[in-house]
């Protein structure tokens, strides 16, 4: 039976004619769509959808056109629609990730600024000797002996003042903030 006769029978609700047409073109159409999708499962879905559209719209089929061209045209258009939707979805996901990353960077940056300001205020409120010793140790990188020599005090006094400073810091900062404090202290410049 010719494709045109099959199409005429399909148009008249003949499911056997539809089955014959399906059997005749399924593999060819699948091979054709795989060349676009590069994915057999996705191609199968598209081909199935094309045949569903054919059956659903059978009453409005233009029998003057080539049945083979019709089903290939429908399948190609379905692929194009899927491809455009995937591109839109992918673009949306990319934009969503970029927005989330940008917001996270802004939030992290603001949080770091707030922590640095808190650290500066807390250090400025330390007793004067503790403040000087802490800055010499953490900013200048001097060891206890070097600080003692620089300030003309004993290393035990330096150790004692550092202990006082750290106790006051622990009172003000959570454990997470303490890690931040020790990680970033050297990079923060104080007046």
* Chain segment 68-124, per-residue pLDDT in tens: 888 999 999 999 998 888 888 778 777 777 776 676 666 666 777 777 787 778 778
Listed residues 92, 117, 134: the one ending a domain: 92
Element (H, E) at 180: helix 175-184
Q: State the average pLDDT for the chain.
A: 81
Are the C-beta atoms of residues 133 and 158 closer than 8 Å to each other? yes
Query: For residue 107, is it within any domain?
Result: no
User: Residue 125: phi, psi to the nearest 5?
Assistant: -90, 0
Rg (CA), the chain: 38
How far is the C-alpha of 28 from the C-alpha of 76, rounded, in Å? Answer: 13
One domain, residues 86 and 163: no
One domain, residues 72 and 129: no
Q: How many domains does the chain have?
A: 2
Confidence of residue 55 (pLDDT cuts 50, 70, 90): very high
Residue 44 has pLDDT above 90, yes or no: yes
Query: For residue 114, is it within any domain?
Result: no
Query: For residue 59, is it within any domain?
Result: yes
One domain, residues 38 and 81: yes
One domain, residues 14 and 64: yes
Which among 154, 117, 118, 114 has a CA at the least distance from the CA of 133? 154
Helices (H), 12-127: 15-37, 40-56, 67-124
One domain, residues 88 and 150: no
Query: For residue 97, is it within any domain?
Result: no
Only one residue has tokens 């404090």, namely 181
* Chain segment 163-172, per-residue pLDDT in tens: 888 787 777 7
- For residues 102 and 144, which has the higher predicted lDDT (pLDDT)? 144
pTM metric for this prediction: 0.49
- For residues 86 and 33, which has the higher predicted lDDT (pLDDT)? 33
Domain that holds residue 38: 3-92
CATH number (domain holding residue 182) = 1.10.10
Are the C-beta atoms of residues 138 and 162 closer than 8 Å to each other? no
CATH number (domain holding residue 17) = 1.10.1740.10
Which among 132, 128, 141, 134 has a CA at the least distance from the CA of 166? 134
One domain, residues 149 and 84: no
Listed residues 92, 111, 133: the one ending a domain: 92
**pLDDT value of position 181:** 52
Residue 191, SS3? coil
One domain, residues 84 and 129: no
């Amino acid at each position: 039976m010719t494709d045109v006769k099959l199409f005429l029978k399909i148009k008249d609700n003949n499911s056997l004619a539809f089955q014959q047409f399906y059997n005749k073109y399924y593999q060819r159409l699948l091979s054709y769509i795989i060349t676009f999708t590069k994915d057999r499962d996705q191609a199968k879905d598209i081909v199935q959808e094309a045949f569903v559209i054919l059956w659903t719209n059978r009453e409005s089929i233009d029998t003057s056109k080539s049945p083979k061209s019709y089903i290939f045209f429908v399948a190609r258009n379905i692929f194009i629609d899927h491809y455009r939707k995937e591109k839109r979805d992918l673009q949306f996901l990319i934009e969503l990730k970029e927005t989330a990353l940008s917001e996270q960077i802004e939030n992290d940056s603001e949080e770091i600024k707030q922590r640095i300001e808190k650290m500066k205020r807390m250090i400025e409120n330390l007793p004067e000797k503790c403040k000087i010793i802490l800055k010499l140790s953490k900013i200048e990188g001097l060891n206890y002996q070097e600080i003692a020599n620089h300030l003309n005090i004993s290393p035990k006094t330096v150790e004692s003042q550092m202990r006082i400073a750290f106790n006051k810091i622990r009172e003000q900062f959570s454990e997470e903030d303490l890690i931040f404090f020790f990680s970033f202290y050297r990079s923060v410049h104080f007046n």
